[in-house]
Each structure stands twice: as structure tokens, then as C-alpha cells.
Structure 1
Amino acid sequence: MLRKSPSITRSKSRRKTAKPDAVRVPAPGEGKRGEQGYLGYLLRQAHAAVRLTMERSLADLGVTSPQFAVLTMLNAYPGLSGADVARLTFLTPQTVGVIIRNLERDGAIVMTPHPVHGRIQQWTLTPRGTALLKACRERVIALEKRLAAGLDVKAEASIRRWLAGIAADLQED
């Protein structure tokens, strides 16, 4: 049996190369992650921070932020179809389908057929869903207060108007 020579089996000696200085990633609020950044990026960064904080605050209730959004919209607009819920919550119809099945399984929502279009399923909160939403809301309201800390009523109203205006304006595109 032929053996490989030691020079073949050994890997070539590794050259030590100097590592370039690592680039420091700026913290939120610094550089392009701060006032120098693009507005769209800053909105996304803020959204990601809010969503993560919300997920953590709702976790022990067994509710995700998309589930909270679905419960909120069904509370505000009872009888929505799954497609309507998807549009209002910025979720895909497939994701809403999974969320609705889970909320229905847990007894938080109930389906009723549409009075005219029998194939359309309308969803409403049950008393259990209303209680769950109330518990979630208490935590989300605390987060909302944290978001608005340092803003006077006029500044908060201006920011709300600005954000809603962006959504309405860009909806056209």
C-alpha cells in the first residue's frame, strides 16, 4: 500500500497576515444610524427597536407583535376578512392565516360567515380575546408612553400627522 509523503499530507504553512483594523459598527443614533442617516433607514431602525421591545413585553402573555396587531384590528373593525386583516397589519395573507388559526384555536377569535358572500369568513374577538387584548394593551401603552417621553402634546400630534401622511402619500406609489 502506498503512503502519501509527509509533504503531501501536511497543509502548507499558514502565513500570518496582519488583520486589518476592524471597522466599528456605529450604535443607534451615531453616524448614518443617527441624524445623518436616510429617513427610510431611520424609520426602519426605529420600527425594529419598537418591535423587539414589544415582543419582549408581550412574550409571557404568549402573544407576538403580529398577533397583537391582528387582535387590535379585529377589535377596532369587527367582522374583517382575513384579507382585510392582512392589508391593515402589513402581513402576508399566509401569515395572517396562521395567526388566525392559532387565535381561533386558543379561543381568542371566532369566525362567522359573511351575510352576503358566504365564502368570505369574518373574524371577531371573543370575550377571551378581548381580555387578552386588554392585557397586551396595558404593556403596549407603557411602551407608547416611553416613545412619547420628552414630547409635548403638540410635537406628538405633529409626528403622528407626519407619519400618517407618509403612509397616505406613499400608498399611491
Structure 2
Amino acid sequence: MPSQIKIQLPDEQLEEFAAFYEGDRSRLVGLLIRAGASRADAEDAAQEAMLAALKDWPTIASPKAYVRTVATRTLYRTWEKAERGDIAERRVTQDTMVAALDANEDADKALEMLAALSPAQRMAFALHVDGHDDAEIAQITGTHPDTVRSNRRYARQKLIRMLDSESIRKEATHGP
């Protein structure tokens, strides 16, 4: 039997949290998917982060950063557990990413390219796309800002190399 959580907050704070939840949950799930999570793992991590935020709501200075920190750490724990137990191999599938990529006709190629990045590079890249600066990403991921910059730089360089090699292949098969 699932345990019920009882949280006592004034109505005003509950309404504030509800507005935050409605406005940010789907963006948080999209961020986690872009970082390499399956839809199910992204939704679970987002839900856990939102529950933690609700419990600590009166003390949270930056709710957006808070839920991203909790969600990414939850996602990393999920991945570590899967790797340690060899329970399941993480896969980013097209159906979970197409929504995040706005059903782009090149979604298959984009998914393949994102999957080629390391988890740290994917997370730094996804958080940057989500609008966070290096200092915020460092705080969320628990890394140094210089590491964040390096991860984003290496991700960008790798993606550019893949795009360049793809365009060369297309020109070779389809002409200029």
C-alpha cells in the first residue's frame, strides 16, 4: 500500500507550487530526455524532484534550479543503479525524443548524435539549451564551472564534426 504524504502549507504557497508545477514539469521532463533519459526515467525523476520541492517549498530560493538539481541527481542514481546491477541498458528511443525535438524530420540523426555524447556532455548541453548559464549548470550538476564549459565545448565540437561528416556524405551521394 503506497504511503500518503501529508504536507501542510498555506493555501497561497500551495497555489504558488501548483502554478510552478504546471509551468515547469514538462520542460523538466524534456530537459531530462535531451540529457539521455528514457521518457519513463525522465518522468520519474521529474516527479521525484517536484515532490522534494513541494516538501521544501517554503525554504527554496530558486525552484527551477532546485528541481533540476534533484532531477539530474535522481537520474544519475538511476543510471548508476542500472549499470551496477546490469539491470538494463539505457537507450534513447525516437518516440521519447521526437516530442523534445519538435518532430524534426532529421530526428533520427539528431538522436544518434546526442547519444554519441558522454552523459556529462549531454547533461551540460541539455541544461544550456534549457537556458541555464555555466554557473547554474555547475550548481545543478555538482561540478566546477570550468568542467561545465569543457563539457559543453567538447559536446559542441563533437556535434560539429558529426554534422560536417554527415554533410560530406550527403554531398558525395546526392551532389552539392
- Relative to the length of structure 1, the TM-score reads 0.27
Question: Which of the two has greater strand per residue?
Answer: 1
Structure with the bigger RCO (C-alpha within 8 Å, sep 6+) is: 2
- Relative to the length of structure 2, the TM-score reads 0.27
Higher Cα radius of gyration: 1
